[in-house]
Amino acid sequence: MPVEVTWWGHATVTVADSGVRVLTDPLFAQRLMHLRRRRGELPSQSAAVADVAVVSHLHSDHLHLPSIGRLQPGSKLLVPRGALAAVAGLRRTAAQAELDVHEVAPGDETEAGGGVSIRAVRAEHDGRRWPYGAHTVPALGYVIRGEGTTYFAGDTGLFDMAAEAGPAPDVALLPVGGWGPFLGHGHLNADRAAQALKGLAPRAAIPIHYGTYWPIGMDAVRPHEFHAPGEEFERLAARTAPGTAVHRLAHGESVRLEAAR
């Protein structure tokens, strides 16, 4: 059975494996503080249908309370350990949406049903909710294992990802950009994401976390940083990891990938 991956924009992806739908970093907003969605239609309610939703870290473009509130009742929600104490309103939002919340740390594994498991792994990124916040929790990636193996890197800098993802995952979902003209510490750009492929050696890679949100009033500031990362990653990956097939998806587009096992 193939793994089906749908990119909704930014870091929001649905991974369908063995009849189980896993949703990453749900963000369904036209505007988020100073950011505006500039590309891709806002996903319909069907995008929020998931058996499990996973959150990589506490930043509001990854842990977005209104979007979490749109998840279907009974869904499992995996968040970094300490998130319930660190994020005001998370416990209440999850309770109102009737979600089954689990706090996880690197190494923790959760059964998603249908023979699918989800393992939390390390990521190199700021674990605070706000830049000067008092709470720091681990930033995470996730390895989704069912018929295939999918590695969602979350938001991260370059490190030994292969040690976290395991040998040669079928699919790697890698951030290649951001939401502004500059990328700070703890982020991958197109070049660093292409370098990561050398160690990961996935059968397929999908660039995410680019080309969706941009600061209001900055449309003319370094626009290539908004449009180019996906294309640049595809070009560089052909050189650094010729054995990996790169699928650069449009917003709302899906791809079906055959698993190795």
pLDDT of residue 222: 61
Within-domain flag for 223: yes
Q: Say whether pLDDT at 112 is over 70.
A: yes
Q: What are phi and psi of 164, to 5 degrees?
A: -90, -45
pLDDT of residue 64: 94
C-alpha 158/C-alpha 160 separation (Å) is: 7
List of E strands, the chain: 3-9, 12-17, 20-24, 31-32, 35-37, 52-54, 76-80, 100-104, 109-113, 116-122, 140-145, 149-152, 171-175, 204-208, 213-215, 245-246, 254-257
Within-domain flag for 258: no
118 CB contacts (<8 Å, ≥6 apart)? Answer: 22, 52, 54, 78, 109, 110, 112, 142, 143, 144, 145
Within-domain flag for 261: no
In the structure encoding, which two tokens stand for residue 194, read together?
């292409």
Q: What is the CATH number of the domain that holds 147?
A: 3.60.15.10
Within-domain flag for 260: no
In the structure encoding, which two tokens stand for residue 89, read together?
């309103």
pLDDT in tens, 58-104: 988 889 999 999 999 999 999 999 999 999 899 999 999 999 999 99
3-state secondary structure of 175: strand
Within-domain flag for 87: yes
C-alpha 100/C-alpha 84 separation (Å) is: 13
Query: Residue 193's closest CA among 143, 124, 138, 145?
Result: 124
Say if residues 13 and 173 touch (Cβ distance below 8 Å). Answer: yes
Within-domain flag for 32: yes
In the structure encoding, which two tokens stand for residue 79, read together?
């968040």
58 CB contacts (<8 Å, ≥6 apart)? Answer: 80, 83, 86, 87, 127, 128, 129, 133, 135, 137
Global confidence as pTM? 0.91
pLDDT in tens, 220-250: 566 656 668 889 999 999 999 999 999 999 9
The whole-angstrom distance between residue 188's C-alpha and the CA centroid of its chain comes to 13
- Amino acid identity of residue 56, one-letter, is S
C-alpha 253/C-alpha 36 separation (Å) is: 21
Within-domain flag for 254: no
Query: Residue 189's closest CA among 222, 216, 228, 220?
Result: 228
pLDDT of residue 30: 82
Residue scoring higher pLDDT (107 or 228) = 107
Domain count, the chain: 1
Q: Structural domain of residue 240, as residue ranges?
A: 3-249
3-state secondary structure of 234: helix
